[in-house]
Amino acid sequence: MQQTGKVLEVADGYALVQFQRTKACGNCNACMSLGDGMAAVRIRNTLDARPGDQVHIQLHANSFLKATAIAYGVPLLGLLVGVILGALISDIAAICMGLGFAALAFVLLKLLEKKFSRMQELKPRMITIENTRERE
């Protein structure tokens, strides 16, 4: 997935890039929502971009699939394990344990959120600067 955005600010080796949200974004919430269909993401400033620069950012398809698998797969796995274990007891236990394990999976993901946010392979990266103004 590739986007073009405008660098809003640069600090400490990172750039805040604003871009138009697409349908592919869905309800991901990995980026900061700015309203009016706009979003911003803080990414490593590997190309020495400056405020006002137009940059192309990219999230590899594999990274997108990994993030999707983590966000949806872990709770689904919890639900299935809970239902299977609960079914050994009764139908009501299957429902309760399925929902309980799914909730535990969500809690686990929330606890591991900081670890996932540090994983560089799950983050977008700058690939080019598309500049119309003169760089100093």
The string of pLDDT tens digits covering residues 77-108 is 999 999 999 999 999 999 999 999 999 999 99
135 located within any domain? no
Structure tokens at 131: 């500049």
Q: How many CA atoms lie within 13 A of 100 on its CB side?
A: 11
Residues 17-35: tens digit of each pLDDT: 888 776 666 555 556 556 6
Please report whether residue 136 resides in a domain: no
Domain span holding position 36: 2-130
The whole-angstrom separation of Cα 102 and Cα 135 is 52
What does pTM read for this prediction? 0.57
What total of structural domains would you count in the chain? 1
pLDDT for residue 136 is more than 60? no
